[in-house]
Protein backbone atom coordinates (compact mmCIF):
# COMPACT_ATOMS: atom_id res chain seq x y z
CA UNK A 1 0.00 0.00 0.00
CA UNK A 2 2.97 2.34 0.53
CA UNK A 3 3.53 2.58 -3.23
CA UNK A 4 0.02 4.03 -3.63
CA UNK A 5 0.70 7.18 -1.61
CA UNK A 6 -1.76 9.85 -2.82
CA UNK A 7 0.69 12.74 -2.72
CA UNK A 8 3.27 10.83 -4.70
CA UNK A 9 0.68 9.80 -7.27
CA UNK A 10 -0.37 13.43 -7.71
CA UNK A 11 3.24 14.48 -8.18
CA UNK A 12 3.60 12.02 -11.06
CA UNK A 13 0.43 12.93 -12.95
CA UNK A 14 0.61 14.50 -16.39
CA UNK A 15 -3.17 14.63 -16.89
CA UNK A 16 -5.45 17.64 -17.07
CA UNK A 17 -8.34 16.06 -15.17
CA UNK A 18 -7.88 12.36 -14.46
CA UNK A 19 -6.60 11.78 -10.96
CA UNK A 20 -6.49 15.45 -9.96
CA UNK A 21 -9.24 14.49 -7.53
CA UNK A 22 -8.10 11.24 -5.97
CA UNK A 23 -9.47 8.78 -3.42
CA UNK A 24 -6.99 6.03 -2.48
CA UNK A 25 -8.40 3.19 -0.40
CA UNK A 26 -6.70 0.26 1.28
CA UNK A 27 -9.67 -1.95 0.50
CA UNK A 28 -13.18 -1.60 -0.88
CA UNK A 29 -15.95 -3.73 -2.30
CA UNK A 30 -15.89 -2.18 -5.78
CA UNK A 31 -14.19 0.98 -7.03
CA UNK A 32 -16.91 1.32 -9.69
CA UNK A 33 -19.58 1.46 -6.99
CA UNK A 34 -17.50 3.99 -5.04
CA UNK A 35 -16.99 6.17 -8.11
CA UNK A 36 -20.70 6.06 -8.93
CA UNK A 37 -21.53 7.22 -5.42
CA UNK A 38 -18.96 10.00 -5.74
CA UNK A 39 -20.47 11.05 -9.07
CA UNK A 40 -23.94 11.23 -7.53
CA UNK A 41 -22.48 13.42 -4.77
CA UNK A 42 -21.08 15.82 -7.38
CA UNK A 43 -17.51 14.60 -7.92
CA UNK A 44 -15.73 16.42 -10.72
CA UNK A 45 -14.83 14.91 -14.07
CA UNK A 46 -11.63 12.92 -13.66
CA UNK A 47 -12.21 11.96 -10.03
CA UNK A 48 -10.47 8.62 -9.47
CA UNK A 49 -11.04 5.93 -6.87
CA UNK A 50 -8.17 3.47 -6.59
CA UNK A 51 -7.94 0.57 -4.16
CA UNK A 52 -5.16 -1.77 -3.09
CA UNK A 53 -7.73 -4.58 -2.96
CA UNK A 54 -11.38 -5.22 -3.81
CA UNK A 55 -13.71 -7.76 -2.22
CA UNK A 56 -16.39 -7.63 -4.94
CA UNK A 57 -14.56 -6.44 -8.04
CA UNK A 58 -16.43 -7.22 -11.24
CA UNK A 59 -15.86 -7.36 -14.95
CA UNK A 60 -18.16 -7.55 -17.94
CA UNK A 61 -21.38 -9.59 -17.68
CA UNK A 62 -21.10 -9.55 -13.88
CA UNK A 63 -18.02 -11.77 -13.82
CA UNK A 64 -15.86 -11.65 -10.70
CA UNK A 65 -12.59 -9.72 -11.09
CA UNK A 66 -9.91 -11.22 -8.85
CA UNK A 67 -8.49 -8.32 -6.82
CA UNK A 68 -5.82 -9.29 -4.26
CA UNK A 69 -3.77 -6.66 -2.48
CA UNK A 70 -0.22 -5.51 -3.09
CA UNK A 71 0.27 -6.29 -6.77
CA UNK A 72 -2.17 -4.76 -9.24
CA UNK A 73 -4.24 -1.65 -9.99
CA UNK A 74 -8.01 -1.44 -9.49
CA UNK A 75 -9.43 1.97 -10.29
CA UNK A 76 -12.50 3.80 -11.51
CA UNK A 77 -12.75 7.20 -13.16
CA UNK A 78 -15.70 9.58 -13.13
CA UNK A 79 -16.21 10.85 -16.69
CA UNK A 80 -18.80 13.52 -17.39
CA UNK A 81 -18.59 13.70 -21.16
CA UNK A 82 -22.03 13.97 -22.74
CA UNK A 83 -22.65 10.97 -24.99
CA UNK A 84 -25.70 9.39 -26.50
CA UNK A 85 -26.16 5.79 -25.33
CA UNK A 86 -25.12 4.34 -28.70
CA UNK A 87 -21.66 5.98 -28.41
CA UNK A 88 -20.64 4.20 -25.22
CA UNK A 89 -19.37 1.05 -27.01
CA UNK A 90 -16.59 2.87 -28.94
CA UNK A 91 -15.67 4.67 -25.70
CA UNK A 92 -14.90 1.29 -24.13
CA UNK A 93 -12.57 0.49 -27.03
CA UNK A 94 -10.90 3.92 -26.70
CA UNK A 95 -10.20 3.16 -23.04
CA UNK A 96 -8.77 -0.21 -24.08
CA UNK A 97 -6.37 1.55 -26.44
CA UNK A 98 -5.29 3.80 -23.58
CA UNK A 99 -4.61 0.80 -21.37
CA UNK A 100 -2.62 -0.86 -24.18
CA UNK A 101 -0.58 2.33 -24.64
CA UNK A 102 0.16 2.40 -20.92
CA UNK A 103 1.29 -1.24 -20.90
CA UNK A 104 3.62 -0.53 -23.81
CA UNK A 105 5.02 2.53 -22.02
CA UNK A 106 5.64 0.50 -18.85
CA UNK A 107 7.28 -2.38 -20.72
CA UNK A 108 8.35 -1.47 -24.28
CA UNK A 109 9.23 -5.08 -25.12
CA UNK A 110 5.59 -6.10 -24.84
CA UNK A 111 3.00 -5.87 -27.61
CA UNK A 112 -0.41 -5.48 -25.94
CA UNK A 113 -3.55 -5.74 -28.03
CA UNK A 114 -7.19 -4.82 -27.45
CA UNK A 115 -9.44 -7.87 -27.29
CA UNK A 116 -12.99 -6.86 -28.20
CA UNK A 117 -14.93 -5.58 -26.46
CA UNK A 118 -13.25 -4.75 -23.16
CA UNK A 119 -10.01 -6.61 -22.49
CA UNK A 120 -6.32 -6.05 -23.13
CA UNK A 121 -4.16 -9.04 -23.95
CA UNK A 122 -0.45 -9.68 -23.91
CA UNK A 123 0.05 -12.60 -26.23
CA UNK A 124 -3.02 -14.78 -25.66
CA UNK A 125 -3.45 -13.85 -22.01
CA UNK A 126 -5.55 -11.18 -20.37
CA UNK A 127 -3.70 -8.49 -18.49
CA UNK A 128 -6.48 -5.89 -18.13
CA UNK A 129 -10.22 -5.50 -18.21
CA UNK A 130 -12.35 -2.43 -18.80
CA UNK A 131 -15.86 -1.93 -17.44
CA UNK A 132 -17.69 1.22 -18.55
CA UNK A 133 -20.95 1.77 -16.70
CA UNK A 134 -23.33 4.58 -17.57
CA UNK A 135 -26.72 5.78 -16.47
CA UNK A 136 -29.02 7.93 -18.56
CA UNK A 137 -31.34 10.85 -17.95
CA UNK A 138 -33.89 10.73 -20.73
CA UNK A 139 -32.03 10.53 -24.03
CA UNK A 140 -28.65 11.63 -22.68
CA UNK A 141 -26.04 9.96 -20.53
CA UNK A 142 -25.41 11.03 -16.97
CA UNK A 143 -21.98 10.51 -15.40
CA UNK A 144 -20.02 7.59 -16.85
CA UNK A 145 -17.82 5.41 -14.66
CA UNK A 146 -14.76 3.89 -16.31
CA UNK A 147 -13.44 0.94 -14.37
CA UNK A 148 -10.05 -0.63 -15.09
CA UNK A 149 -8.28 -3.60 -13.56
CA UNK A 150 -4.66 -3.93 -14.66
CA UNK A 151 -2.31 -6.77 -13.78
CA UNK A 152 0.91 -5.02 -12.81
CA UNK A 153 3.10 -7.21 -10.59
CA UNK A 154 1.11 -10.37 -9.98
CA UNK A 155 3.01 -13.61 -10.63
CA UNK A 156 0.50 -16.27 -9.54
CA UNK A 157 -3.22 -16.88 -10.10
CA UNK A 158 -5.85 -19.36 -9.03
CA UNK A 159 -5.81 -22.56 -11.07
CA UNK A 160 -8.78 -21.53 -13.23
CA UNK A 161 -6.97 -18.33 -14.33
CA UNK A 162 -3.38 -19.56 -14.52
CA UNK A 163 -3.44 -20.28 -18.26
CA UNK A 164 -5.45 -17.22 -19.30
CA UNK A 165 -4.12 -14.35 -17.16
CA UNK A 166 -0.88 -12.43 -16.99
CA UNK A 167 0.55 -9.17 -15.70
CA UNK A 168 3.03 -6.64 -17.04
CA UNK A 169 5.76 -8.04 -14.80
CA UNK A 170 4.92 -11.68 -15.50
CA UNK A 171 4.87 -11.20 -19.27
CA UNK A 172 8.07 -9.19 -19.16
CA UNK A 173 9.89 -11.84 -17.15
CA UNK A 174 8.80 -14.45 -19.67
CA UNK A 175 10.70 -12.36 -22.24
CA UNK A 176 13.60 -11.77 -19.82
CA UNK A 177 12.91 -8.06 -20.29
CA UNK A 178 12.21 -6.89 -16.73
CA UNK A 179 13.24 -8.33 -13.37
CA UNK A 180 12.22 -5.69 -10.83
CA UNK A 181 8.67 -5.03 -9.75
CA UNK A 182 6.99 -1.97 -11.21
CA UNK A 183 6.12 0.99 -9.04
CA UNK A 184 2.33 1.14 -8.91
CA UNK A 185 2.15 4.91 -8.36
CA UNK A 186 4.13 5.49 -11.53
CA UNK A 187 2.10 2.84 -13.36
CA UNK A 188 -1.13 4.53 -12.26
CA UNK A 189 0.03 7.95 -13.47
CA UNK A 190 1.03 6.45 -16.82
CA UNK A 191 -2.28 4.63 -17.11
CA UNK A 192 -4.40 7.69 -16.32
CA UNK A 193 -2.48 9.81 -18.82
CA UNK A 194 -2.90 7.27 -21.61
CA UNK A 195 -6.61 6.72 -20.96
CA UNK A 196 -7.33 10.44 -20.75
CA UNK A 197 -5.54 11.04 -24.05
CA UNK A 198 -7.67 8.46 -25.87
CA UNK A 199 -10.94 9.54 -24.25
CA UNK A 200 -10.24 13.17 -25.15
CA UNK A 201 -9.44 12.17 -28.71
CA UNK A 202 -12.60 10.10 -28.97
CA UNK A 203 -14.72 12.99 -27.70
CA UNK A 204 -13.07 15.48 -30.06
CA UNK A 205 -12.85 13.35 -33.22
CA UNK A 206 -15.42 10.60 -32.78
CA UNK A 207 -14.79 6.88 -33.29
CA UNK A 208 -12.74 7.16 -36.52
CA UNK A 209 -9.28 7.33 -34.87
CA UNK A 210 -10.25 4.50 -32.50
CA UNK A 211 -11.24 2.26 -35.41
CA UNK A 212 -8.05 3.14 -37.32
CA UNK A 213 -5.85 2.32 -34.33
CA UNK A 214 -7.64 -0.98 -33.84
CA UNK A 215 -6.86 -2.08 -37.39
CA UNK A 216 -3.34 -2.98 -36.22
CA UNK A 217 -3.94 -3.54 -32.52
CA UNK A 218 -7.04 -5.72 -32.42
CA UNK A 219 -6.47 -9.15 -30.88
CA UNK A 220 -7.56 -12.10 -33.05
CA UNK A 221 -7.94 -9.96 -36.17
CA UNK A 222 -7.81 -12.18 -39.25
CA UNK A 223 -8.40 -15.33 -37.18
CA UNK A 224 -11.38 -17.64 -37.10
CA UNK A 225 -13.43 -16.92 -33.99
CA UNK A 226 -16.74 -17.56 -32.31
CA UNK A 227 -18.86 -14.75 -30.85
CA UNK A 228 -21.65 -16.41 -28.90
CA UNK A 229 -23.18 -18.75 -31.52
CA UNK A 230 -21.73 -17.03 -34.61
CA UNK A 231 -18.51 -18.28 -36.23
CA UNK A 232 -16.41 -16.43 -38.76
CA UNK A 233 -13.19 -14.59 -39.46
CA UNK A 234 -12.68 -11.46 -37.39
CA UNK A 235 -12.39 -8.60 -39.89
CA UNK A 236 -12.38 -5.54 -37.67
CA UNK A 237 -14.53 -3.11 -35.72
CA UNK A 238 -17.20 -0.73 -37.02
CA UNK A 239 -17.54 2.92 -35.99
CA UNK A 240 -20.43 1.88 -33.74
CA UNK A 241 -18.06 -0.37 -31.80
CA UNK A 242 -19.66 -3.50 -33.26
CA UNK A 243 -17.46 -6.44 -34.21
CA UNK A 244 -17.26 -7.29 -37.92
CA UNK A 245 -17.16 -10.98 -38.82
CA UNK A 246 -17.03 -12.62 -42.22
CA UNK A 247 -19.14 -15.75 -41.93
CA UNK A 248 -20.07 -18.52 -44.37
CA UNK A 249 -23.34 -16.68 -44.98
CA UNK A 250 -21.79 -13.26 -45.41
CA UNK A 251 -20.74 -10.31 -43.20
CA UNK A 252 -22.15 -10.09 -39.67
CA UNK A 253 -22.02 -7.30 -37.11
CA UNK A 254 -22.00 -8.26 -33.44
CA UNK A 255 -22.90 -5.55 -30.94
CA UNK A 256 -22.28 -7.75 -27.89
CA UNK A 257 -21.17 -11.22 -26.95
CA UNK A 258 -18.25 -13.27 -25.70
CA UNK A 259 -15.47 -13.56 -28.25
CA UNK A 260 -13.31 -16.69 -28.36
CA UNK A 261 -10.68 -17.99 -30.81
CA UNK A 262 -11.37 -21.25 -32.61
Q: Let me know the angle formed at the C-alpha of 45 by 67 and 55, rounded to the nearest 5 degrees.
A: 15
For the chain, give the percent of residues with pLDDT over 70: 92
Q: Could you give phi then psi for residue 162, rounded to 5 degrees? A: -60, -35
Inform me whether the pLDDT recorded for 10 exceeds 80. yes
Handedness of CA 39, 10, 114, 226 (dihedral sign): negative
pLDDT of residue 141: 64
Name the DSSP letter for residue 154: -
Q: How far, in Å, CA of 202 to CA of 238, rounded? A: 14
Q: What is the pLDDT of residues 81-117, one digit of tens each?
A: 887 777 888 999 999 999 999 999 999 999 999 999 9
Cα of first residue to Cα of last residue in the chain, in angstroms, is: 41
pTM: 0.94
Over residues 136-141, the mean pLDDT reads: 59
pLDDT of residue 134: 85
Q: What is the pLDDT of residues 193-248, one digit of tens each?
A: 999 999 999 999 999 999 999 999 999 999 999 999 999 999 999 999 999 999 99
Inform me whether the pLDDT recorded for 47 exceeds 90. yes
Q: Of 74, 148, 150, which is closest to residue 105 (Cα–Cα)?
A: 150
Inform me whether the pLDDT recorded for 183 exceeds 80. yes
Q: How far, in Å, CA of 217 to CA of 212, rounded? A: 9
pLDDT of residue 97: 98
pLDDT of residue 158: 87
Q: How far, in Å, CA of 65 to CA of 71, rounded? A: 14
Name the DSSP letter for residue 64: B
**Lowest-confidence region among 6-20, 41-55, 156-170:** 156-170
pLDDT of residue 58: 63
Amino acid sequence: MQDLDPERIRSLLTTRAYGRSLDVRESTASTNDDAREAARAGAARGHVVVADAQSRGRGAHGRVWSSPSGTDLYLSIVERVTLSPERVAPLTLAVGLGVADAVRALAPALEPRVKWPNDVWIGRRKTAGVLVEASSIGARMDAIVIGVGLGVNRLAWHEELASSATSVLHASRELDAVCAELDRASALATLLGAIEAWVDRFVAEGPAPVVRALEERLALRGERVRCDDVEGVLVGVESSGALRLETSSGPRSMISGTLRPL
